[in-house]
Amino acid sequence: MILNLATHRASSSCVLDGASPGSAGLSIRLMDTRDALSVTRLFRKVYGFTYPIRYMYDPVRLSGMIAAGRIRSAVTVTGEERVVGHCALVDRRDGLAAIGMALVDPEYRHSEYNTRMVVLLANEACRGTFSGICSAVMTAQVYAQRAGRHVGFRRVALVVGRISAGRTYDGVSRGRRISVAYGYLRLEDHDEASIYPPRHHREFIEAILRNAGVKRRLSDPRAGASCPHDGDWSAIHVKATPGDDRATIEVHRYCTDTFTRVRRIMRALLARNVEQVVLLLPLSQALTAVATGEFERRGFFFAGVLPRCGIGDALVLQYLNGVSIDYDDILVASEDLAEIKAYVRQHDPGVNSEKHCRRS
Ligand SMILES: CC(C)(COP(=O)(O)OP(=O)(O)OC[C@H]1O[C@@H](n2cnc3c(N)ncnc32)[C@H](O)[C@@H]1OP(=O)(O)O)[C@@H](O)C(=O)NCCC(=O)NCCS
């Protein structure tokens, strides 16, 4: 059976171990507004100016966000209060917290500082009213995945080529786009609503949700009502991230114009040389079960599931614009991600057309 893993560690109990104190005079604590300048310097040191979240370079904006509670960060600091590690928890305002923006100064790596910051923030999230925590980690190395595993994150999606080839790590660019693994840590999710997965992905979606401890009733599309819209227009939001040459299209509500509008949006994005697009479809709406196949015929392919993201539980599809993926570059630290990677690869039309070319 797919993704038949041991019972997940995430539970409504919020006791997470592993937050031992730092060594060598370093300590781990929640970030203060006074740390903002030092944090921005660390981002510059590790990423140059290639990190797409721009407030990480702006100490005034960053300290304002910390003061307003819009992000909560953990930092690793030296005895002189220099920040050598950072990780953030962001309230996404949809019942989820997002953990990310993790980095450690190269001189202080491999001493579990990142793991301890993740543990500290997961404990912070447990004190809130979040139903879960989501994460997105790059897959060019396995360290961030391993830190997530410590607190019980389960992998739910793999978006290939999500990070621009221009992003540098410690001054070095990988020269090709990097894939991102999405994780989910269930905290207090008592929703057992119906979802409508497309029949041809149903078994795999069910396995991902079971592995992540997310309970849903999987319904047959035919049992669902017809197009659940309350207006003449689809509700579709687009978010472009020019720094990474990527975009996300969120379908909040279907209508008869959905395919036409997504086609127009795609045309505009591709004209701007966007290389990677994620399409989020609402699993709570019966039309997702039938619309998925239509999007797949137009070049989108399966990436996974994001529980409780901005549009509710979302089916994640992805599209690559002239980018080919070397799946051997995608490093995995867990069995669940290995299975998702194999499934995504199997559905990537780029891989399949390469195979076809090689055969003919
Ligand atoms: C990713 C990063 C934050 C990790 O920081 P870190 O403090 O060195 O990580 P940790 O020491 O907590 O290590 C986490 C896990 O990786 C393992 N690990 C660390 N270095 C390793 C190495 N050289 N070889 C094998 N495993 C290693 C640790 O053993 C630990 O695994 P475990 O939990 O199974 O024991 C750091 O490498 C970094 O800043 N990289 C550049 C920016 C980046 O890639 N950020 C992540 C974006 S998603």
Interval between CA 136 and ligand 1 midpoint (Å): 15
Interval between CA 253 and ligand 1 midpoint (Å): 40
Q: Are residues 113 and 32 in the same domain?
A: yes
pLDDT exceeding 70 applies to what percent of the chain? 89
Residue nearest (by alpha carbon) to ligand 1 atom 19: 110
Q: Are residues 217 and 286 in the same domain?
A: yes
Interval between CA 147 and ligand 1 midpoint (Å): 7
The residue among 220 and 110 whose pLDDT is bigger is 110
How sure is the predictor about 237, in pLDDT bands with cuts at 50, 70 and 90?
Answer: very high
In this prediction, residue 360 carries a pLDDT of 41
User: Is residue 242 a part of any domain in this protein?
Assistant: yes
Residue nearest (by alpha carbon) to ligand 1 atom 45: 103
Q: Does residue 295 surpass a pLDDT of 80? A: yes
User: Is residue 346 a part of any domain in this protein?
Assistant: no
Residue nearest (by alpha carbon) to ligand 1 atom 31: 146
User: Is residue 20 a part of any domain in this protein?
Assistant: no
Average pLDDT over residues 10-33: 63
In this prediction, residue 11 carries a pLDDT of 39
Interval between CA 60 and ligand 1 midpoint (Å): 29
Query: Are residues 100 and 87 in contact, defined by beta-carbon separation less than 8 angstroms?
Result: yes
In this prediction, residue 8 carries a pLDDT of 32
How sure is the predictor about 357, in pLDDT bands with cuts at 50, 70 and 90?
Answer: low
Q: Are residues 202 and 176 in the same domain?
A: no
Number of domains in the chain: 2
Query: Are residues 195 and 223 in contact, defined by beta-carbon separation less than 8 angstroms?
Result: no
Q: Are residues 309 and 252 in the same domain?
A: yes
Q: Are residues 311 and 219 in the same domain?
A: yes
How sure is the predictor about 16, in pLDDT bands with cuts at 50, 70 and 90?
Answer: very low
User: Is residue 328 a part of any domain in this protein?
Assistant: no
User: Is residue 164 a part of any domain in this protein?
Assistant: yes
Ligand 1 atom nearest residue 116's Cα:
12
Concatenated DSSP letters for 150-179?
HTT-EEEEEEEEEE-TT-EETTEE-SS-EE
Ligand 1 pocket, residue 147 CB under 6 Å: yes
* Average pLDDT, rounded, for the chain: 89
Ligand 1 pocket, residue 45 CB under 6 Å: no
Q: Are residues 149 and 199 in the same domain?
A: no
Average pLDDT over residues 76-83: 97
Q: Which amino acid is at 288?
A: T
Query: Are residues 207 and 3 in contact, defined by beta-carbon separation less than 8 angstroms?
Result: yes
How sure is the predictor about 128, in pLDDT bands with cuts at 50, 70 and 90?
Answer: confident
Ligand 1 pocket, residue 118 CB under 6 Å: no
How sure is the predictor about 243, in pLDDT bands with cuts at 50, 70 and 90?
Answer: confident
In this prediction, residue 294 carries a pLDDT of 95
| 266-283 CB burial, b ≥16 within 10 A, e <16 | beebeeeebbbbbbbbbb
In this prediction, residue 19 carries a pLDDT of 41
Q: Does residue 118 surpass a pLDDT of 50? A: yes
User: Is residue 145 a part of any domain in this protein?
Assistant: yes
Ligand 1 pocket, residue 144 CB under 6 Å: yes
Q: How far apart are CA 215 and CA 132, in angstroms?
A: 13
Q: How far apart are CA 236 and CA 229, in angstroms?
A: 12
Domain of residue 299 covers: 194-323
Ligand 1 atom nearest residue 142's Cα:
16
Last residue of a domain, one of 186, 215, 235: 186
Q: Are residues 306 and 204 in the same domain?
A: yes
Residue nearest (by alpha carbon) to ligand 1 atom 39: 103
pLDDT exceeding 90 applies to what percent of the chain? 79
Average pLDDT over residues 121-136: 92
Q: Are residues 250 and 109 in the same domain?
A: no
Ligand 1 atom nearest residue 137's Cα:
48
pLDDT in tens, 259-276: 999 999 999 999 999 999
**Which CATH number goes with the domain that contains 50?**
3.40.630.30
Q: Does residue 13 surpass a pLDDT of 50? A: no
User: Is residue 349 a part of any domain in this protein?
Assistant: no
Interval between CA 141 and ligand 1 midpoint (Å): 8
Q: How far apart are CA 291 and CA 137, in angstroms?
A: 29
Q: How far apart are CA 141 and CA 102, in angstroms?
A: 13
Q: Does residue 226 surpass a pLDDT of 60? A: no
User: Is residue 67 a part of any domain in this protein?
Assistant: yes
